[in-house]
Amino acid sequence: MAYILKTLNSWFWWENIWMPINCTWADFVDRDGLVFPKPHQLYATIPYAFVLLIIRFFSERYVAIPLAKALGIKNVRRVKPQPNPVLESYFQECSRHPSQSDIKGLAKKCNCTVHLVEKWFRRRRNLEIPTVLQKFKEAFWRFSFYLTSSIVGFIFLYDKPWFYDIWQTWVGYPFQTLLPSQYWYYMAEIGFYWSLIFTLGIDIKRKDFMAHVVHHLAAIGLMSGSWCGNYVRLGTLVIFVHDTADFWLEAAKMFNYARWEKTCNMLFIIFSIAFFITRMILLPFWILRATLYQPTYYSTTPVIAYFLFNGMLLTLQGLHLYWGYLIFKILKRFIFLK
């Protein structure tokens, strides 16, 4: 078993996968003021994820809840049904909406009335429905992170030449030094998506639940891979392009839960514009152009990572097309049906 793991590890870190021809991992040793990303640094994203979860807990409790109350959102407390192993087993394994004949059978088995069984299932189903306050707290946390990430990302990038000239992302590659700002930007982003993976079981499940799972895994894989291959300049641009639209959506959700309809509508329109500019224009025609087309000027023999990273970026773009279709449907109803 140890031999198999060692063999797989050597295959995974084969130089031809990650870096141009005539480059080895020995070339990525820090020297002469050059600092390179190191794969083992990615282990730190797991404890960073738990730090973010702690920050999330306190921000939701001491900021989101008071803000929700100020906006008029009440904390609805649902009545829990009486513990009943027979009904709970049926609810979990058979159906949450039993037929009338099943209700009568369960009433006989539990030695109670049909009305009590119906009441038990109604209360049990209500427990599964997230409250408005739960939705608000989740939207507030995402809004806080995306807004902070967007502001910090702009501060980190505005004075970098590759922020204005995409060709600069390849100048000097692969021997581009890692900046401290890039390190913290990456660690925070990967840690955030790990934290979202860890809370999938308790966060609110929506219709696009599986799309979010694919998105989070693709984002972690893409950022981790770009870190190992020192595609950090392009990676920071991808992160920035994604986060700058998302906080508008979370803000619209927060005001929607507070029933501030005009504010919600205005924020959603701003989000839609930002989404289509960043995800439908900048990402495919600016960043994907830099990852698919420009590398051919620097190497006539693409490495395997070229296909892996672009495959994940195209997967993300496919998700953006799916979400763009949903956004377009909402805008269509908003404009024509008011």
Q: What is the pLDDT along the chain (338 residues), one digit of tens a residue?
A: 666 666 666 666 666 677 777 777 777 788 888 888 988 899 999 999 999 999 999 999 999 999 999 988 887 777 677 777 777 777 777 777 777 887 778 777 777 787 887 788 787 777 777 788 888 999 999 999 999 999 999 999 999 999 999 889 988 888 889 999 999 999 999 999 999 999 887 777 777 677 778 878 888 988 998 898 888 999 999 999 989 999 999 999 999 999 898 999 899 999 999 999 999 999 999 998 888 888 777 665 667 778 888 888 888 888 889 889 988 888 888 777 76
Coil/strand/helix, residue 31: strand
User: DSSP 3-state assignment of 34?
Assistant: strand
79: three-class secondary structure by DSSP: coil
Asked whether the beta carbons of 320 and 279 are under 8 A apart, the reply is yes
Residue type, 330: I
Q: How far apart are CA 311 and CA 334, in angstroms?
A: 34
H helices within 129-229, ranges in order?
Answer: 132-157, 180-198, 209-228
- Residues near 168 by Cβ (< 8 Å), separated by ≥ 6? 160, 161, 162, 233
Q: How far apart are CA 240 and CA 245, in angstroms?
A: 9
The packing angle between helices 85-93 and 100-110, to 10°, is 150
d(CA 144, CA 332): 29
- CA gap 281, 289 in Å, rounded: 11
CA distances from 319 to 78, 243, 246, 332 (A): 36, 15, 14, 20
pTM score, whole prediction: 0.83
Do the beta carbons of residue 162 and residue 237 sit within 8 Å? yes
Alpha helix ranges (H) inside 82-131: 85-93, 100-110, 114-128
